[in-house]
Amino acid sequence: MGQNSTLILGSGIAGISAGYHLQKQGDSVVIYERENDWGGLCGNFTIDGFRFDKFVHFSFAPDDYTRNIFEESSPTFPHPPVSYNYWQGYWLKHPAQNNLHPLPVEEKVKIIEDFVNRPQKDVSQIENYEEWLRVQYGNYFAENFPFKYTRKYWGVEPEELETKWVGNRLHVSPLSEVLRGSYEEQAENFYYTKFMKYPKKGGFRSILNKCREGLDIRFNKEVVRINPNEKTIYFKDGTKTAYTRLISSLPLPEIVKMIENTPQKIKDAGANLMHTSGYMVSLGFKRPDVAKHLWFYIYDEDILPARVYSPNLKSSDNVPEGCSSLQAEIFFANSGAHENCPPLAGGPKSMILRRGFFNPQTPPEIILEKTIESLISMGLFKEDEIIVKDIRFEKYANVIFDKDIYKNRETVLDYLNKVGIESIGRFGKWEYMWTHQAFEDGRKVKNYAAR
């Protein structure tokens, strides 16, 4: 049995950051990773020269320290965050409510009329995300755009979500912007950052190259049991190791199942934390100009992906010369109205969609096939232009902010603190963290006294 002073579980961005900063101050650190490579959701994979990240990633770190580390690790391209929206055959610059001009007059009239007459409520009176959307955008726009996207991206109805997570992620428009955008596409970008950066070479995880250097990361080490009394970790391969200090970036629902003698109420709280899982459909093309937009959102509920982005527009290093690529993302919730819905009779389409939600029991090969069919129907490419097609699954994609999240999260985190386990990162803190926030959360561990 090995003995190490500080052990870190998970080599995603928070785990890498924690290891880097602890080692920088002289601590002895070992990182254990269940996969055979590092990066977590910041990782990537390559097929026949086409590189794909695990879901879409950009960096817009506001502080000099984090931004400089990312840039020193790998020079980046600064992309203006210009994205688009697809709705019933129309392409609208993002945010859609500020760029209504491509829509038919009748649609614009309905949206603007409802926007003017939208419910008037103080923020303190808003009980859920559905109300928030109606108050901000009016009923017609809310029901036809963000309601539909919520079902596709979050996997739940808008009324099931609370609103503290929203922050500045959604643009709140005054009437002047809505009116102006109904006549012409607005040149102004209303996104929450002016530039989104992406490494010139090596995929998104390259922003961590500097931090990764010199770290002792041990791969294919899946934790199956943790004894906090003896301060011992047991792995699936039959080995075990002791620790003085344990830092975990593992998802909260997973780690509570690993700890010996965890009370049932803690396990229940972990199991009740909601999250999305996701499929990534990755496509490579033999022509260079398939991708027209850095990324775009799809509101049509009969088209599986919630959003699609272009790896080759992020960096030409992601594709062979003369080629282009797209990656589509399909999400579903780990619980909700559609959970455990059995496949319906009537063919593949009914297996994919059930009551407006993606059916997670649909076989991956059908998801791949139907996603390609839908993207072809949108006029993005032709079947014979595809030279790489791939589908992969990630169990943990994003945290869902349902009405019970804060209660359940606090219950689990308090227990981990009680048994001496420090939890970090998006799924370790169970928060909606951007890249730089997860990095900074890992950095904070250096300020804690070893237990």
Structural domain includes residue 245: yes
User: Can you tell me whether residue 36 is helix, strand or coil?
Assistant: coil
Q: What pLDDT shows up at residue 358?
A: 80
68-82 as b/e, with b when 16 or more CB fall inside 10 Å? ebbbebbebbebebe
| Nearest Cα to Cα of residue 1 among 231, 193, 249 | 231
Does one domain contain both 281 and 268? no
Overall domain count for the chain: 3
Q: 427 with 367, same domain?
A: no
Does residue 260 sit in the same domain as residue 280?
Answer: no
Would the pLDDT of 378 be above 90? yes
Domain end, chosen from 150, 182, 214, is at 182
Q: Same structural domain for residues 265 and 411?
A: yes
Please indicate whether residue 172 or residue 296 has the higher confidence score (pLDDT): 296
Digit-coded pLDDT (tens) for 431-443: 999 999 999 999 9
Task: Indicate if the pLDDT at residue 212 is higher than 60.
Answer: yes
- 342 pLDDT exceeds 90? no
> Which whole number is the average pLDDT over 353-362?
72
Residues 395 and 283 in one domain: yes
Q: What is the dihedral of CA 57, 287, 283, 365, to 10 degrees?
A: 170
- Are residues 395 and 423 located together in one domain of the fold? no
- Both 265 and 413 in a single domain? yes
Tokens standing for 200?
A: 């010139």
Angle at 23 between CA 19 and CA 27, to 5 degrees: 110
What does pTM read for this prediction? Answer: 0.92
- Would you tell me how many other CB atoms lie within 10 Å of the CB of residue 52? 25
332 and 375 in a common domain: yes
- pLDDT on residue 447: 67
Q: Is residue 436 part of a domain?
A: yes
pLDDT digits (tens, 9 = 90+) for 222-251: 999 999 999 999 999 999 999 999 999 999
Is residue 426 assigned to a domain? yes
Both 309 and 359 in one domain: the answer is yes
Nearest Cα to Cα of residue 16 among 207, 268, 269, 286: 207
Q: Give tens-digit pLDDT for 267-292.
A: 999 999 999 999 999 999 999 999 99
CB 419 within 8 A of CB 262: no
Cβ atoms of 336 and 274 within 8 Å: the answer is yes
Position 217 in a domain: yes
**Cβ neighbours of residue 316 closer than 8 Å, sequence gap 6 or more:** none
Mean pLDDT, all residues of the chain = 92
Which band of pLDDT confidence, cut at 50, 70 and 90, is reported for residue 171? confident
Give the CATH number for residue 261: 3.50.50.60
Query: Looking at the structure, do residues 407 and 269 belong to the same domain, yes or no?
Result: yes
Q: Which range of residues forms the domain containing residue 384?
A: 275-399
In a domain, 190, yes or no: no
Helix 129-137 and helix 146-153: axis angle, to 10°? 150
CATH number, residue 287: 3.90.660.20
Report residue 193's pLDDT band, with 50, 70 and 90 as the boundaries.
Answer: confident
- The answer to whether residue 334 sits within a structural domain is yes
Residue 347: per-residue pLDDT: 43
Q: Based on the fold, state whether residues 345 and 441 are members of the same structural domain.
A: no
Residue 435 lies in a domain: yes
Please choose, from the candidates 253, 405, 398, 271, the residue with its C-alpha nearest in 3D space to the C-alpha of residue 333: 398
Beta-ladder partners of 235? 223
In a domain, 64, yes or no: no
Q: What is the pLDDT of residue 357?
A: 78
Q: Which of 282, 328, 278, 283 is nearest to 307 (CA)?
A: 328
Tell me the per-residue pLDDT of 23-49, one tens digit each, with 9 for 90 and over.
999 999 999 999 999 999 999 999 999
Tell me how far CA of residue 416 lies from CA of 21, 226, 395, in angstroms.
22, 12, 22
Do 312 and 295 share a domain, yes or no?
yes
